[in-house]
Amino acid sequence: MIQDQQSVPVLRMATQADSTTIFELVNSSDPHPWRLSLIEEALHSRHNWLLECRDSGQAMGWLTASMMFEQTELELVITDVHRRRQGLGRALLEQWLDWSKQQGCEEALLEVRESNLGAIKLYLLLGFEQVGLRKNYYPLDEGGSEHAVLMTCKLK
């Protein structure tokens, strides 16, 4: 987690009132950003956590996940592009997994671009394992596509 005292992160549940803040974070930090309508839908129908700077209230990270019966699925996790590799993504993921266990979930699912090696490494460290591949799932800006790596983690 960030050690800089002026940007101490605070983790809390995200609400509909955070939609514009999250939209700005996603648009500045994700090469394939979600539309505002998708963010608003996620805030309405899924479980969401926001990491923000204690002093400024600036969004540092967001995670949204769905839950159905005893499974939870990561829909999106994003951290500020200027604050990567500082433990923010891990903090969001650990919060999601801990919360999911408390809700009785037995399995966590996710998919990730095969080129996102940093995220894959983090997911493996958190106990996920690769269980499949969706071929040519994600479009590439330069044309073509790349595979989605399917991962799962047993929570019980």
Q: Which residue numbers are catalytic? A: 111, 123
Q: What is the DSSP letter of 33?
A: P
Helices 36-45 & 19-29 angle (0-180, nearest 10): 130
Q: How far apart are CA 8 and CA 51, in angstroms?
A: 10
Please say whether the beta carbons of 107 and 114 come within 8 A. Answer: no
Report how far apart the first and last C-alpha atoms of the chain are (Å, whole number): 26
